[in-house]
Each structure stands twice: as C-alpha cells, then as structure tokens.
Amino acid sequence: MAEIRPSGATRDAQYGFSKIFVHDLEGMAGFYEEVFGLVRFDRHQDLMLGRRIDEITFQATYPGGSSLTLIKYLDSSAPAVGESVQGFITTDIDALARRAEAAGGTLAEPIRRVESHRLSCAFVLDPEGHLNEVVQLDAG
C-alpha cells in the first residue's frame, strides 16, 4: 500500500500496537481474520498487572505498520466495549461491510461520504460490540 499519511514523532518512541480486550478470544480472532484479512503471528499467555492473560497478535498489514492484539483476562470477563476504536483502510468498503455482516458483525450506521476528507466511512461493530472505523479513500 502506498504511503497515505505523513509520519513522525518528537521523541524516541514509535506507536507500534494496540490491544482490544475481548470475551471470546478465538471467536473474535476469527472475525478479524475473516472481515479484515488479518494474519495471526503470535499466541501468548502471561501475567499483566498480576492477572493471567491470553492474547492473539496479528501481523501488521504493511511494512512498519502497527499490529493488533486481541487480549482476554482469564480470571474475569472483559471490560465494557467502547474503550477504543480501531481504524482500517480498504479499497472496497461495500465488500468489507458485507463480510462483516456475514461474519456476525453489524454496520452501526449506513456508509457515509465525507467530502471534506475525500473518503467514504463506515462504523463496523464486531460481534462483541467493539467499534472499528473503516475508510475508503478516493483514488488519486
């Protein structure tokens, strides 16, 4: 994918990953694989803040990009949804919306056009209600 956004930082730190707390780790991993085409590269169990966790990490979708990890606390259910928004860019927002619905997700509102940014935008809820913002940039 061509470089679509400027990059940079003012300190020696790079944003490298995000994590979503989920209830059904395997089920949610399947959703993100089916809808967004993410590829697993790690499964890890450990302690975080004294609590046992299980997590699945997906590869970045382009060289140097950030990764997405789905994480589950093993001693309780996940926190309420709405704690984050994951952003995805696609070249076919209608097809992505159809895949999301077929995989148990929901289109939170109709796909809309944002002329000021030259893009189309959709908000896709995964089967547990986590929010994913999907954009399709205009060509050129």
DSSP state of 105: -
* pLDDT number for residue 48: 86
CB neighbours (10 Å) of residue 35?
23
Q: pLDDT by residue (tens digit) across 93-136? A: 999 999 999 999 999 999 999 999 999 999 999 999 999 999 99
pTM for this prediction: 0.87
Whole-angstrom Cα distance, residue 135 to residue 126?
16
Considering just the CA atoms, what is the radius of gyration of the chain in Å?
16
Task: Indicate the Cα dihedral angle 135, 26, 52, 78, nearest 10°.
Answer: 60
* pLDDT number for residue 2: 53
